[in-house]
Amino acid sequence: GAGVSQSPSNKVTEKGKDVELRCDPISGHTALYWYRQSLGQGLEFLIYFQGNSAPDKSGLPSDRFSAERTGGSVSTLTIQRTQQEDSAVYLCASSLDGLAGGAETQYFGPGTRLLVL
Amino acid sequence: RKEVEQDPGPFNVPEGATVAFNCTYSNSASQSFFWYRQDCRKEPKLLMSVYSSGNEDGRFTAQLNRASQYISLLIRDSKLSDSATYLCVVNLGTYKYIFGTGTRLKVLA
């Protein structure tokens, strides 16, 4: 079946512009995660959605970052007024329901490579 | 101290060699442990979960040492296709997963 998809695969933007990244989770997965991976760094947790519950936004690095998930499926991560330090790979993952106490497999999308000039 | 620490490598080993990686974690309340594999410019994929009793999947063996707070991954009879970065992942029993920065393996012909 289809895995997690993300678009665009690459994005080059100028400092100060807004960008929108999209994630399509695996059908039926109610848990969705956004991570950021910078060169030589581990995956950094950004935000978590589970069903209709309020998202955990504790990992968002600044108020320029926001995310939403419409209809419990597709999610968009928006970065406003991009800065050069926002350059990274943004990875989306989904899992069945995120409620198994950390024992679930996360399935990752291919990521969006963002470069801010 | 980082929550999850790994030797970044690279570990350069010849084909057929046995190689082992360790990963240490700082939170003694950690409950679930995983090894993910990440190929260059690709997304991470689950390699195996790590169970308290240790577990094996073909050429791969994972072990957990709770007393010393580390997990290990052993790869026997290394193949060229094993070349990748191996990510150690720890979970506290919630939806939050803590990823290490990864250990890079290069298997040489």
The model's pLDDT over A85-107, given as tens digits with 9 standing for 90+, comes to 999 999 999 998 766 666 788 99
Q: In angstroms, rounded to a whole number, what is the distance separating the alpha carbons of residues B108 and B78?
A: 9
Is B73 at the interface with chain A, CB within 8 A?
A: no
The letter for the amino acid at A42 is G
Task: Specify the pLDDT at position B52.
Answer: 86
Task: Specify the pLDDT at position A51.
Answer: 85
Task: Specify the pLDDT at position A53.
Answer: 86
Q: In angstroms, rounded to a whole number, what is the distance separating the alpha carbons of residues A9 and A111?
A: 6
Question: Scanning the structure block, which residue is given the tokens 């991470």?
Answer: B44
Task: Specify the pLDDT at position A105.
Answer: 86
Task: Specify the pLDDT at position A1.
Answer: 58
Structural tokens at position A82: 């991009």
Task: Specify the pLDDT at position A41.
Answer: 82
Answer whether A41 sits within 8 Å of B101, measured CB to CB. yes
Question: Containing H/E element for A83?
Answer: none
- Model confidence at B55, pLDDT cuts 50, 70, 90, reads very high
CB pairs under 8 A between A and B: 56
B64-67 own/partner pairs: CB under 8 Å, 24+ apart: B64/B33, B66/B28
- A38 in Cβ contact with A85 (< 8 Å): no
B2: nearest CA in chain A?
A: A42
Distance of CA B31 to the CA centre of its chain: 16
Which residue from A40, A98, A101 is facing B93, i.e. has the nearest CB?
A101
Among the listed residues B50, B103, B105, B38, the one whose alpha carbon sits nearest the alpha carbon of residue A93: B38
Task: Specify the pLDDT at position A45.
Answer: 93
Is B51 at the interface with chain A, CB within 8 A?
A: no
Q: What value, to the nearest 5°, has the Cα angle with vertex A61 and ends A56 and A62?
A: 100
